[in-house]
Amino acid sequence: MAVSIVIDRSTSLSNADLMNMQSAANDFIGLLANDDEVAIWQFNGNIDRLQDFTTDKALASGAVNSITLQGSTAIYDAVADAAAYSQTATGRKAIVLFTDGRDNRSSRSKAQAIDAAIAAGTPVFTIGFGNADPNVLDSIATQSGGLAFQDATSANLGALLANIGDLLNNQYVLSWQPPVGDGRSHTIGITVADQGLSDDESRDYTQANSPCGGTCSAERSLPSGYGLNVNNPISIELDSTGQTETFSIVEQLPAGWTATDITQGGVFDGQSGTIQWDNLAPDQVTSLAYNAQTAVDNGTVQFIGTTSFGIRQEAVCGPETLEVGNFFPADINGDFRVDINELTAYGAAWKNDRGWPVEPSPIPLDYAVLAGTLWLNGEAYFFDPNLDPPFASGTATTSQSRVASNLARSVLTARQVAATAERQLPAGFLPGQPITVSIDVSLQNGVVYALTETPPEGWTVENITEGGVYVEQTGQINWGLFFDGQDRTLEYDLIPPADVQAESFFGRLNVDGESFEVTGDTQLNRQSGRIFKDSFEAKASGGVN
């Protein structure tokens, strides 16, 4: 079991409240089994993880005892951060939150905090101190699967914590795999009986129309979505191990779809809209593949396949339904264009690591550069499942419907991007003395680019050139987006901390969606003597370094 203990240190609590919380947290740590893990968090306006998950209970108690009162209250951010971190642990997980429940600083809402806990599968047990807000604590606890305890005092804390410990030690997860996917509604129930007590619960569900259980021999793989007038790659893996008879597979495509590039001798019948493979060898694994095309956005479409061998027939399992491709994340208004306003907002969110309302968030470097490429090449784009990320540029047109935009596009000819980024480091470093790092970016071709650099952790970053931004949350320096295709030298200064002997650097350049690792110097070692001061001062005063 992995438990995150999250303690409110805001000044809305009294010193007596804090002492009670610390005493309660230490008592709870003492209830945990030897192999249980515990992490310690404190929060006011800031969220700090004082101790990572550990089985060393003395370390955890030391972190608890170091907490002092200061600042405002960001409960929702604390719950969301602890829930996200709990996903690094395995097995049963829980959050025990000590607070007065009066948030006045969080950047996230109560609903977002609850959603984070639910997504992490981590129930939150809230223990209210001081003038606690019962509505906040109740909703966080009950909606996440935990329990809320109000009016905690030194007298009743022992019983509350023992109750939580019993609940956590008696949690179970039951899973059940239906034998066949039939697309029908069913009811599943569970009954628990022990020592004369019993309880039961039931739920209705609709089984997916995907027969992947039992003796399925062939399994289909589909892309994340389908594009119009492009090749949509589809594959079927046939496992006939142990069989002695040949196999046949018939795949029914959605109405109006066609198929090309069919492997293993498969034949497409345009009249019936089916692909047929015959005489597939037994006792081996055979990979079948084809490209499917459509010119019409029909929303969600379905693929149905049948496997035959001897007198037996089975359905092809795996995913059967496919939806039309998604919008590019920067395209907030969903018109299959990335305009200048969307681009600048997306680029700023990437550069400052602010997150984005559409996944993926945080924004990856290649997505940020691709947004610039789409905008620079005429704003319009379309979905192509063969690309990663699956979007390509199209010629800018007047505003039109989603379907018409796809049908009328003129695809840009793909080109091979060539570029390098080379880092230059000094011969060595001394603690406390500034050094300069430079990265030379050279583009043989390509237009839109950005670069991310990860300097050593704990070093002070200063004087970043070319509009670069250092993001403390990620420990990265972000440059770009640059739209001119020009070579650049990017520089920044570092001040090494004490007690460091050697450190590594890592960076990545992305040009028009193609990624390149920053080469050159990657390791920097400590040296003795005053080897940098004069050159750094000369640089600062305009001299030659």
The last residue of a domain, from among 322, 356, 382: 322
Q: Identify the pLDDT of residue 178.
A: 54
42 lies in some domain: yes
3 state SS of 443: strand
Examine the domain organization and report whether 374 and 312 are in the same domain: no
- SS3 labels along 384-422: CCCCCCCEEEECCCCCCCHHHHHHCCCECCCCCCCEEEE
Q: In the chain, how many domains are there?
A: 4
Examine the domain organization and report whether 272 and 162 are in the same domain: no
Examine the domain organization and report whether 435 and 497 are in the same domain: yes
Q: Provide CB contacts within 8 A for 208, sequence distance 6+.
A: 181, 183
82: pLDDT strictly greater than 80: yes
pLDDT tens for 97-129 read 998 777 888 899 999 999 999 999 899 999 988
Examine the domain organization and report whether 20 and 143 are in the same domain: yes
The last residue of a domain, from among 142, 169, 196: 169
pLDDT tens for 242-270 read 889 999 999 999 999 999 999 999 999 99
Examine the domain organization and report whether 282 and 311 are in the same domain: yes
Q: How far is CA 117 from CA 103, 113, 139, 363, in A?
A: 17, 6, 12, 22
Examine the domain organization and report whether 454 and 530 are in the same domain: yes
210 lies in some domain: no
Examine the domain organization and report whether 128 and 38 are in the same domain: yes
Considering the chain, what is the average pLDDT of its residues? 83
pLDDT tens for 395-450 read 433 333 333 333 333 333 334 678 899 999 999 999 999 999 999 999 987 778 88
pLDDT: which is higher, 490 or 309? 490
350: pLDDT strictly greater than 50: yes
455: pLDDT strictly greater than 70: yes
The Cα 159–Cα 175 span in angstroms is 32
Contact 95, 86 (CB under 8 A): yes
Examine the domain organization and report whether 300 and 381 are in the same domain: no
For Cα atoms 89, 95, 97, give the angle at the middle one, nearest 5 degrees. Answer: 150
- Domain of residue 268 covers 218-322
**Largest CA-CA distance found in the chain, in angstroms, rounded:** 87
pLDDT tens for 221-245 read 998 888 888 889 999 999 999 889 9
Q: How far is CA 81 from CA 74, 86, 375, 388, in A?
A: 11, 9, 34, 30
480: Cα within 13 Å, side-chain hemisphere: 34
The Cα 132–Cα 130 span in angstroms is 5
385: pLDDT strictly greater than 90: no
Q: Which of 9-13, 65-69, 134-138, 510-514 has the highest mean pLDDT?
A: 65-69
327 lies in some domain: no
Examine the domain organization and report whether 358 and 507 are in the same domain: no
The residue assigned the tokens 């040296």 is 527
Examine the domain organization and report whether 289 and 378 are in the same domain: no
pTM: 0.41
Examine the domain organization and report whether 381 and 345 are in the same domain: yes
